[in-house]
Amino acid sequence: MTSFPLGPALLFCPADRPDRYAKAAERADAVILDLEDAVAPTRKAEAREAVLAHPLDPDRTIVRINGYGTEEFAADLAMLRQTAYRYVMLPKADSTVDYSALHGYAVVALCETAAGVVAAAEVAAAPPVVALMFGAEDLVVSMGGTSSRGPDGRYRSVVAHARATVALAAAARGVAMIDAVHLDINDHAGLAEEAADAAALGFAATACIHPSQVPVIRAAYRPSDDEVAWARGVLDAVAAAGGGVVQYQGRMVDEPILRHAEAILRRAQT
């Protein structure tokens, strides 16, 4: 898993609701103050004023600004220059964005359109980008579709493919990967399954939209006692053998399996 200091549970909070800021910060590992989709066009200026007037810990806060090329983009950046915030989430990132406009910020780039998914590797290579985040619903909108999930609640095949494409692009460029929100707030079982899958694949965090989802995500990213015991056993077996290929609990342990064990122990320490 690529290092990312804010995860694993990142909670969205509408930027025009400063009454929710402190509670969100208390509940989650980090807060995403949303100036984009969560704020009506008529309330954008009010939302920026709220961000200025109600500061949170900049080390645990991401500000989702409005998209590059929109009228609000420049105003958002002007506001951010008056704050200590340095983590910025850029929606609808693709190859048309001038990423130099975000110099000095640690950018979480949202690959949430068909153009963004196709350009994910290029986006990940932009100097200010420290993480890619996948977005399912805007992706489907960009394709002219109506639903990211099938009747069984799982992602449709093209959406699952897009998620994998963005994850591979992030890994190839050495930036962190953040998974999409699970919109069904009460479906904790489905969220737990997706978050566990994300953790197993090396995702750094999962975004969420309700405080009740935070403990579900944290539990999914936290290795079980059995996993930690196995990982420690693997490291001990390799150390006792002086390196090389060994057998542990009837399974061959070579370099990739050793790295799996090390990743589990890293997750256990977060």
Given a contact cutoff of 8 angstroms between Cβ atoms, the answer to whether 163 and 139 are in contact is no
DSSP state of 28: S
Query: Would you write out the chain's pLDDT as a tens digit for each of its 270 residues?
Result: 456 889 899 999 999 999 999 999 999 999 999 999 999 999 999 999 999 999 999 999 999 999 999 999 999 999 999 999 999 999 999 999 999 999 999 999 999 999 999 999 999 999 999 999 999 999 999 999 999 999 999 999 999 999 999 999 999 999 999 999 999 999 999 999 999 999 999 999 999 999 999 999 999 999 877 888 888 888 888 888 888 888 888 888 888 888 888 888 887 876
Q: Per DSSP, what are the bridge partners of residue 87? A: 62, 106
> Tokens at residue 143, please?
């394709």
What is the DSSP secondary-structure string of 137-164?
HHHHHHTT-S-SB-TTSSBPHHHHHHHH
Give the closest residue to 165 by CA, choosing from 208, 122, 200, 220: 122
At residue 54, the 3 state secondary structure works out as coil
Global pTM reads 0.89
pLDDT at 230: 82
Q: How far apart are the C-alpha atoms of 57 and 43, rounded to whole Å? A: 24
Inter-CA distances, 157 with 54, 132, 140, 150, Å: 42, 20, 12, 9
- Comparing CA positions, the residue from 55, 156, 64 lying closest to residue 107 is 64
Q: What's the rounded Cα separation, in Å, for the pair 207 and 229?
A: 29
Burial class (CB in 10 A: 0-12, 13-18, 19+), 63: buried
Q: Given this model, what pLDDT does residue 2 score?
A: 56
Domains in the chain with CATH codes: 9-221 (3.20.20.60), 225-268 (no CATH)
Q: Which residues are within 8 A (CB) of 157 and not within 5 positions of it... i.e. 6 or more apart?
A: none
Q: What is the pLDDT of residue 247?
A: 87
Contact 169, 130 (CB under 8 A): no
Residues 6+ apart with CB under 8 A from 234: 248, 253, 257, 258, 261
